[in-house]
Amino acid sequence: MTEEEARERILAAAEELYYRKGYAAVGMDELRAAAGVSLRRLYALFPAKTDIVAAVLQRKHHEWETSLTAAVGEAGSDPRTRLLAVYGYLEDWFCTDGFRGCAFINAFGELGGTNPEVASIVRDHKASFQRYMADLVVAAGAPASLAAQLSILAEGAQSTAAISADPQVAVQARSAAEVLIDAATHSTRR
């Protein structure tokens, strides 16, 4: 097995285990067994658990941005529809088997208070989402302040759906987003 194949196996196993069981609950030996690599190889590629957590979160960030951008792109060219597509994306995600909330919120809750590197990665991810929402809001002709409001709805929906196990939370968030978008775009037309 090449170094890249071993790295991929470790990260895929870590992503699945951390998301299902939690970051703190998964030890290096369990990860090694799930990835099918030796402990020596694991430590050669990732000298510390934080290195693995950081790499997993970077993968999740890329996956999130790619998937969200694709879902919004498929919504067409209407700026309002594109904004609302964010909540459709969330609903689809909330309906997947094994949905356990946002990996970034989970990581921050478990490790953010004691691991500055993890806290920084999570903050960067959330800031990136805020910028993405701001771009969508500006394209819709709404005031920039709407981006933070819509982002908070999306973030709250992720946490609430994970706790309640109810994917309809995304529909409720979308309904609230429609009210906010309509109010914001109506006030800019006056």
* 140-177 residue pLDDT tens: 999 999 999 999 999 999 999 999 999 999 999 999 99
Which of 71-80, 101-110, 170-179, 180-189 has the weakest average pLDDT?
A: 180-189
75 and 31 fall within a common domain: no
93 and 172 fall within a common domain: yes
What is the percent of the chain with per-residue pLDDT over 90, rounded to a whole number? 94
91 and 150 fall within a common domain: yes
13 and 77 fall within a common domain: no
Specify the pLDDT at position 185: 86
Domain of 81: which CATH number?
1.10.357.10
Contacts of 161-164 spanning 24+ positions with Cβ under 8 A: 161/90, 161/94, 161/99, 161/101, 162/99, 162/100, 162/101, 162/102, 163/101
128 and 35 fall within a common domain: no
38 and 67 fall within a common domain: no
1 and 69 fall within a common domain: no
* pLDDT above 60: residue 108: yes
177 and 100 fall within a common domain: yes
The total number of structural domains that make up the chain:
2
Global pTM reads 0.91
Strand, helix or coil at 1?
coil
15 and 101 fall within a common domain: no
Domain of 8: which CATH number?
1.10.10.60
Residue type, 69: T
88 and 3 fall within a common domain: no
> CA–CA separation, 77 vs 175, rounded Å?
20
Domain that holds residue 103: 54-189
Short-list 107, 129, 103, CA closest to 116: 107
> CA–CA separation, 175 vs 138, rounded Å?
20
